[in-house]
Amino acid sequence: MRRIKELLRLSAAGLSYRQMAGATGLSLGSISRYLKAAQDAGLSWPMASELTEADLGVRLVGSGIEPGRARSGFVEPDYAAIHQGLKHKGVTLLLLWEEYRTGYGPAAYGYTQFCVRYRNWVAALARSMRQVHRAGEKLFVDYAGPTVPIIDGRTGEMHKAQIFVAVLGASNYTYVEATRTQQMADWIGAHARAFTFFGGVSEIVVPDNPKVGVNRACRYEPELNRSYQEMAAHYGVAIIPARPYKPRDKAKVEVGVQIVERWILARLRHRQFFSLGELNTAIRELRDVLNDRPFKKLAGNRRTAFAQIDAPALRPLPATAYEFAEWKIARVHIDYHVEIDHHYYSVPHALVKRAVDTRFTATTVECFHGGQRVASHPRSHRRGGHTTLPEHMPKAHQRHAQWSPERLLGWALDIGPSTHALVRHQLETKPHPEMGYRACLGLLSSARRYGRDRLEAACRKALAAGSPTRGSVISILKTGLDRQVERDLAVSPLPDHANVRGPGYYH
């Protein structure tokens, strides 16, 4: 269009075709064709000088001169549209060239020249644009280097919040949030909130090699943390960490972090925040501005590109929300309990001294052995406490655990008041009630051998003698003194006799 304007200006100045050819480098045939097309479109100088190249192209449509036609007579492809089109699954340069050739026929470049010109155009873009990312394929995640201070309003203490950044490869649509730490719960939780923000799940997540997500960094077979693997399985994504020392593998998020630092964190540097929620509110406002900011060399912005390219290709979110869980290998103690966060949970007693895999969330604790779940408990935060299921205990322990002071006292009262009084004495005089359980059980079990009536009588005699112990009661039963008590009570008063001295004799 610029050359046509120049031809109209030179023609208005009275130059001949040959003079115009010398000034512009065009052939005489091209000059003739261009000027005839301008004449047919009703264009002249200086009217053409007031038109933009786009408006001039619109006027020339149908006049034999198409917008974008080069000096050689070929029509230049729309490279920006080609670049965006390649992000869709299954779209290749060959397919786009065939569509281009169908539209322009003989004026279209051949396939080789088409590819060369497109790659030259791509080379002029920013370095981060050189990779071709398929729609909905990759989500790049990382933490920014700079932090944002949060002030505790009560103590004045300052805490540095971490900035999580996630960027979709095809559209550059960006998610940003502040987390309290970079620990596993915050790291994985930020992933879940990013997926919710995007409204879907990508095929692949590309992180760096953070210790909270990757146990062992490796160029070929990185070893992921089990909690990170579980999150990936819940969302159905593949996690492929970038190769160590290869920042190009995650160039999208490297550039995304840099943009977040310049367009969000730099604008917040003079503000004071007193809570994480307050900081995230400010970040959300600036994040929306960032996603609505127009591209420099492509049409639209991150939000429109996301709606056109990534959003339709993302996988749907799972039906149930993700619940963060940590894994830990624990050895079963001699008391058939494992320790999780200073609380003890029971497992089947047969696993004593063996290692089990424990999975714990905010609400539950699960134990696995050999891939099978062997125990499940509600999560407790009582430090030093025990959570025990009866079925995990040996039979002897189960029987012992079934007893309580109330049950022992109830059994004793059913035998008789003296037995009840003696059992109560045993429980109350020990430093802890459980210390008297064994003595009480031994005492009460003697009713099976000697009978309930004899046990009640023996207890009555032991109480009267001031020796309310199990040993005294058993001794009374073995020697038959409980029966002597009964005989003494049954003997009638002594008859009067001369040889029987009364109490007055001794005064």
DSSP 41-94: TT--TTGGGGS-HHHHHHHHTTTT--TTB-TTSPBPP-HHHHHHHTTSTT--HH
pLDDT of residue 215: 62
Q: Which of the 8 DSSP states describes residue 265?
A: I
CA distances from 378 to 323, 333, 345, 390, 493 (A): 15, 20, 9, 15, 69
pLDDT of residue 506: 56
pLDDT of residue 325: 83
pLDDT of residue 286: 92
Which two tokens mark 475? 């001794």
Domains and CATH numbers, the chain: 2-73 (no CATH), 138-313 (3.30.420.10), 326-399 (no CATH), 403-490 (no CATH)
Angstrom distance (rounded) from CA 462 to CA 485:
11
pLDDT of residue 194: 93
pLDDT of residue 56: 64
pLDDT of residue 68: 44
Counts of helices then strands in the chain (DSSP H, E): 21, 15
CB 338 within 8 A of CB 356: yes
Alpha helices in 331-404 (DSSP H): 395-401
Angstrom distance (rounded) from CA 167 to CA 25:
47
pLDDT of residue 446: 87
pLDDT of residue 66: 47
Angstrom distance (rounded) from CA 273 to CA 153:
9
Which two tokens mark 79? 């490279």
Q: Return the SS3 of 503.
A: helix
pLDDT along the chain (507 residues), means of 10: 72 75 72 77 72 63 47 74 79 87 84 88 60 80 90 86 91 92 88 93 85 63 76 87 65 78 87 91 92 84 90 90 84 86 88 89 86 89 83 69 74 90 85 67 84 91 88 89 62 57 59
DSSP states of 96-134? HHHHHHHHHGGGSPPHHHHHHHHHHHHHTS-GGG-S---
Q: Return the SS3 of 261.
A: helix
pLDDT of residue 14: 74
pLDDT of residue 398: 57
pLDDT of residue 33: 78
pLDDT of residue 315: 92
Q: Is 446 left (phi over 0), alpha (psi -120 to 50) or beta?
A: alpha
Angstrom distance (rounded) from CA 369 to CA 356:
5
Angstrom distance (rounded) from CA 178 to CA 160:
10
**Cα-based torsion angle of the residue sequence 3, 6, 12, 13 in order, rounded to the nearest 10 degrees:** -130
Angstrom distance (rounded) from CA 208 to CA 300:
29
- How many Cα atoms within 13 Å fall on the side-chain side of residue 464? 10
pLDDT of residue 70: 44
Cβ contacts of 115-124, under 8 Å, gap ≥ 24:
117/76, 117/77, 117/79, 118/77, 118/79, 118/82, 118/83, 118/93, 121/79, 121/83, 122/79, 122/83
